[in-house]
Amino acid sequence: MTANKEKRRAISREAARRRRRVESEVFEDLSRLLPLQPSVQAHLDKPSVIRLTLSYIRMHTLLKGETGTKAKASHTLTCGQVMGRHGCDGGREEKENETEDVEASEETNLYLRILEGFLIVLSTEGDMIYLSDNVSKYMGLTQNELMGHNIFEFTHPCDHEEIRNNLRLTAEEVWCGAKRDFVMRIKSALTHRGRSANLKSATWKVLHCQGRAKVCVASSTVSCLLLTCQPLPLSHTLLSKHTFTSQHSMDMRFTYCDQRMTLLLGYSTDELLGRSIYDLCHTLDIKLLTKNHLNLCLKSQSVSGQYRMLVRGGGYVWVETHSAVIPSVRPSKSRPGAHQPLCILCVTYALSGVEEPSLQLSVDQIVQI
Amino acid sequence: MSAWNTAAGGGDRSGVEPAEEVLVKENQSSVSLPSAMTPSSAVDMSFSTEMPRKRKGCMDNQDTKSISMDMDMDMEDMEDEQNGSDGEDRHGKMKCFREPHSQIEKRRRDKMNNLIDKLSAMIPSCNPMSRKLDKLTVLRMAVQHFKSLKGSTNSFSEASYKPSFLPDEELKHLVLKAADGFLFVVGCDRGKIVFVSESVTKMLNYIRVELIGQSLFDYIHPKDMEKVKEQLSASELYPRERLIDAKTGLQVQADLPVGAVRLYSGARRSFFCRMKYNKISVKVEEEFQASTSKKKELQKYCTVHCTGYMRSWPTSQVGAEGEGDADKQDSSHFSCLVAMGRVHSHSSPQVHREVCVKPTEFFTRYAMDGKFTFVDQRATTILGYLPQELLGTSCYEYFHQDDLLHLADKHRKVLRSKDKIETNCYKFKTKNGSFVTLQSQWFSFVNPWTKEVEYIVSTNTVQSCDHSRTDRSGNKSEQSSDYKTSDGKKSLPVIPGISTTPGAMIYAGSIGTQIANELLDHNRMNSSPSSGSVSPFSLPRDKCPQTHNQISNNVPNGEAPDIEIPGKSSSEDEPQGAAFTGAESLMEENSQQDLDGMVGPGLSSLSNDDAAMAVFMSLLEKNTNVGEAVDFEEMHWSL
């Protein structure tokens, strides 16, 4: 009996080996087709090959409706683009208007840089169908490592609920190109110095995601979410006369305010100290501010939408605030001084002038004698 | 997450062998597991908890495994399964390195199968097949499909440098679509638009061609021109860059010298401005114009968030058509801003809604004690008061006396609950003395950080029909009769030294104050269990819902231990006395300052006793059923 068993086992093993060989060949074929650098291609494992193939096919299906029109228009530019990536403008066959060419290649070259973020295409289940390749700058992981995986594997568990809500698209929303705007935390394998580390030692990075739904009607209707994800840096914000900074305690009461606020809103800086921002905004914007506040408490950074701040004496100004929680700073040897507790730093941009200056809406606006 | 669930469900499809393995495993797991879980659920559970976690930590390891390694694992695994070697406790230990090999293998296989499933769903040739195809076939078909895709479109060619999943052009379009934006390049010197992307048509409704060559300032809101000039400039007239250090939150002066260097270094710019929006030549637009002209103006602009970099190009590259010769710059560089403008969503749909017939509504904010702290400007058209006339006054002064009861009740409720409380229809006194029927939705706004109530937000809707009467609970007839009888008594009994106005004021304004103080006290009580004595406010809390307009003989005031009201004994007191009790004890217990701040300056002119007397006397003069001691309609409220 055992001899028989052994024999059968040997046969099955042979068969398995043969199967695997064939399978590997097919996998190799597939990986060769992928638009990747040869060096990368060789080291892909099977799941990744399938993953990337899936992404490719999905993207293709998604853009099918668009490629028809766009391909013609951009045909002349295809060569330029590929070249343009490397910034060289020599060796091109087509001789168009030089200005235009330069601009076009510059344009594509600069797009993602200007965006200061990366693009992500999400399926309704959260699969990251496509990511632009500059994602490595923000997450420390390359496009190839991420494409095809599910976003829930990389985002903070507390944000999953919100992400899921945002991914939920009704048919109506999809056709109208519904917009999305939210903040989420994603893993970043970047060290402080910007080098990629292991995913195990990943930190959380806050990203502001904005985008809309997109649909493509092919053999089956595929809908997905197009998002641009930008980190929210406060460190290099150019301030002008129409922006001001302010600091708040965690309950959104002012603890410090820039003098430029006076020019915009009319309150003196002393007047505002201790006042809650909720008292200074239009009632209809409370929900927005609450969401902002909660984002700050949970995720440590936030972008408010547009809301109205009441001006002293009457009227209001439309503003938008970008804020972040500043960790508490304890005095140390290198930095002696007062202990700075946890606080919120806000940069507020004025979007409009003073609207309806004669309208006094709130008790806080009334000019005190 | 759904992907994992299907995998956990045992979605093995490639051949019979693996399926057997799955079965074998499940049986064994049921043996080893002491608890009453079903095998599938046990597997599910272990998968759903294990897999994601494993992914996070060990994903790198898995993905970098080479194909050859894969083969070896398969072999080992099969033998393992057949030997039935899995006495390990895989349900208990969830740690990465402690995991049995078979588990890792099973997961890998499931993942692979899942991917194959997905792939077959995407390949058109696979779809019509009724039965599931095996792995190899799917892969082969994938290869074919892939080849066909590559062949069809030119843009996916990887002949030159860097092959990419998406050609730049497509990427660019996706980015613009996602960002709802357009790219533009403007010269710094005079704001000449050098380039703008096609998506501007979708955003601002201008044709690309008509914008190029124009000055950007022609399309910017006049008030924002200065702002944009500032951003474009490199001149030393404008303030230097101010940066914020995220760690300390302090402003830092930029070290870069202002001027040419700033441009070269690709300084970042980020600002908001209002840009003109070209009118649509559609009928819809005319409807908007028919409405207020202010709205028309609003629609013409949309807020654009511009972020980008300063760039400079040598004029030699720019060529004859560029800014080069037009510029008077002596430098050989053409400096400009390359930026993306993201349009913030416009509020036009909302405008449209307002044009439709909709019950008029306005918002107000009350402090905890019912005083107006914010009044929407729409209130003026409805109530007749300017917002500033209402601010600081208590809402109870305007509520019709019949409604005080239930509104006080709702007030109390809203302070204690996080939900939106709907009031019944009630009457609100307008400026000219008549009443308008409103219905409100209240919710208390709680500061997310401190969890304290900051104020109450009220959405007030005007009710056109007079169904206010029917909504009230119970005592309608009595109330109406009360109302009628009180009509007859137009004035307060004359009490020497005290005018009627402050007396009435105590009544109405204090309701709100009392309710607010109840809450504060309640909170204080809850936080400090030491206060064992009955709070004077616990009494009114029980009684107020029934007071003001009811004939119930409630618990007499005598119950309140610390209240000394001259002559007030049980039986003859009107139930409303409770409210006054509250008010009186308020006066006595709380600090004077409290009262002044909340009820009004008029009260301070009276001593506490006098006020109490006034109120009490007015009660005693009436018969038991009378709802009100004072006829509010004649009162002129002023603060």
Rounded Cα gap, residues B177 and A64, in angstroms: 15
Confidence of residue B81 (pLDDT cuts 50, 70, 90): very low
Q: What is the pLDDT of residue B324?
A: 40
How many Cβ pairs within 8 Å bridge chains A and B?
365
Using alpha carbons, list the distances in angstroms from residue B605 to A355, B501, B597, B609. Answer: 40, 12, 13, 12
- If you average pLDDT over residues B600-624, what whole number do you get? 48
Helix/strand/coil for A7: helix
In terms of Cα–Cα distance, which of B301, B293, B188, B277 is closest to B234? B188
- pLDDT, residue B609, reads 54
Smallest CA-to-CA distance from B59 within A143, A141, A211 is with A141
Q: For residue A180, what is the enclosing H or E element?
A: strand A179-188
Cβ contact A85–B161 (<8 Å):
yes
What's the pLDDT score for residue B569?
40
β-partners of residue A179 are A212
The pLDDT of residue B570 is above 50: no
pLDDT > 70? residue A13: yes
Residue B186 sits at φ, ψ, to 5 deg, of -125, 145
Angle formed by the axes of helices B135-152 and A2-33, nearest 10°: 10
B454–chain A Cβ distance below 8 A for any pair: yes
Rg (CA), chain A: 27
In this predicted structure, what is the pLDDT of residue B289? Answer: 47
**From CA B92, how far away is CA B611, in angstroms rounded?**
74
3-state secondary structure B429-462: ECCCCCEEEEEEEEEEEECCCCCCEEEEEEEEEE
Confidence of residue B237 (pLDDT cuts 50, 70, 90): very low
pLDDT at B251: 57
Residue B172 to residue A29, Cβ atoms within 8 A: no
DSSP category for residue B632: G
Cβ-nearest to B271 among A240, A326, A343: A240
**Among B401, B398, B390, which residue's Cα sits nearest to residue B365?**
B390
pLDDT in tens, B286-321: 444 444 444 444 457 888 888 887 777 766 555 434
Please check the confidence at residue A146 and state whether its pLDDT lies above 50: yes
Tell me the nearest-neighbour CA distance from B577 into chain A, angstroms: 32
Look at A240 and B243 and tell me if their CB atoms are within 8 Å. Answer: no
Taking each continuous run of H as one helix and of E as one strand, the counts in chain A are 12, 10
The reply to whether B158 touches chain A by the CB within 8 Å rule is yes
Sign of CA dihedral B252, B257, B260, B264: negative
pLDDT of residue B245: 57
Q: Which residue has the higher pLDDT, B533 or B273?
A: B273
- Greater model confidence, B639 or A217: A217
Contacts of B593 (CB under 8 A, 6+ apart): none
Give the helix ranges, DSSP H, for B214-256. 225-232
User: What's CA B530's distance to the chain center, in Å?
Assistant: 39
3-class DSSP assignment, residue B594: helix
Q: pLDDT tens-digit profile of B14-63?
A: 333 433 333 333 333 333 333 343 333 333 333 333 333 444 434 444 44
Q: Which residues contact A266 (CB under 8 A, 6 or more apart)?
A: A311, A312, A313
Mutate to test the interface with B, among A5, A63, A102, A114 (most CBs of B within 10 A): A114
Residue of A nearest to B158 (CA): A35
One-letter-per-residue 3-state SS of B288-350: HHHCCHHHHHHHHEEEEEEEEEEEEEEHHHHCCCCCCCCCCCCCCEEEEEEEEEEECCCCHHH
Q: Max Cα separation, chain A? A: 106
Question: Is the separation of the CB atoms in A157 and A276 below 8 Å?
Answer: no
Binary contact (A241, B230; C-beta < 8 A): yes
Interface test with A, best of B164, B226, B449, B458 (most A CBs within 10 A): B449
d(CA B482, CA B575): 14
CA–CA separation, A74 and A7 (whole Å): 63
Tell me if B197 and A35 make a contact (CB, 8 A cut-off).
no
Nearest to B539 by CA among B555, B519, B522: B555
**Chain B: nearest CA to A238, how far in angstroms?**
6
pLDDT at B441: 92
**Residue A199: its chain B contacts at CB < 8 A?**
56-57, 59-60
Question: Which residues, in sequence order, are CB contacts of B385 under 8 Å at separation 6+?
Answer: B375, B379, B430, B431
Highest mean pLDDT among A152-166, B49-63, B375-389: A152-166
DSSP output for B531-562: --SPPTTHHHHHHGGG-SS-------GGG-TT
Retrieve residue B53's tokens.
Answer: 């976690």
DSSP B498: B
Q: Does B67 touch chain A (CB under 8 A)?
A: yes
Distance from first CA to last CA of chain A, Å, rounded?
A: 106
Under 8 Å between Cβ of B365 and B374:
yes
Give Cβ neighbours of residue A83 (< 8 Å, ≥ 6 apart): A89, A91, A92, A105, B160, B161
Q: Which of A30, A84, A198 sits opposite B143 (nearest CB)?
A: A30
Chain A residue at shortest CA distance from B233: A240
Q: Which DSSP state fits A51? A: H
Nearest-CA residue of chain A relative to B66? A45
Containing H/E element for A187? strand A179-188
Query: B47 versus A288: which is more confidently predicted?
Result: A288
Does residue B616 carry a pLDDT above 70? no
Cβ-Cβ contacts under 8 Å, A360 against chain B: 386-388, 391
Query: Which of A50, A110, A250 has the CB atom closest to B449's CB atom?
Result: A250
Here the tokens at position B99 are 């995991």
**How far apart are the C-alpha atoms of B277 and B207, rounded to whole Å?**
11
Give residue A67's pLDDT.
44
Chain A contact for B269, CB < 8 A?
yes
Residue A216 has pLDDT above 60, yes or no: yes
**Tens digits of per-residue pLDDT, A299-332?**
888 988 889 998 888 888 999 998 988 887 777 7
| Residue of A17, A245, A361 lying closest to B244 (CB–CB) | A245
Residue A82 and residue B387: Cβ atoms within 8 Å? no
First-to-final CA distance of chain B: 61
Residue of B nearest to A77 (CA): B169
Contact across the interface for B243 and A24, Cβ inside 8 Å:
no
- B244 contacts A347? CB cut-off 8 A: yes
pLDDT in tens, B467-480: 444 444 333 333 33
The mean pLDDT value for A196-217 works out to 80
Region A106-112 average pLDDT:
66
Taking CB atoms and an 8 Å cutoff, what residues of chain A touch B80?
none
> Residue B594: which residues within 8 A CB-CB, separation 6 or more?
B517, B586
pLDDT confidence of A220, banded at 50, 70, 90?
low
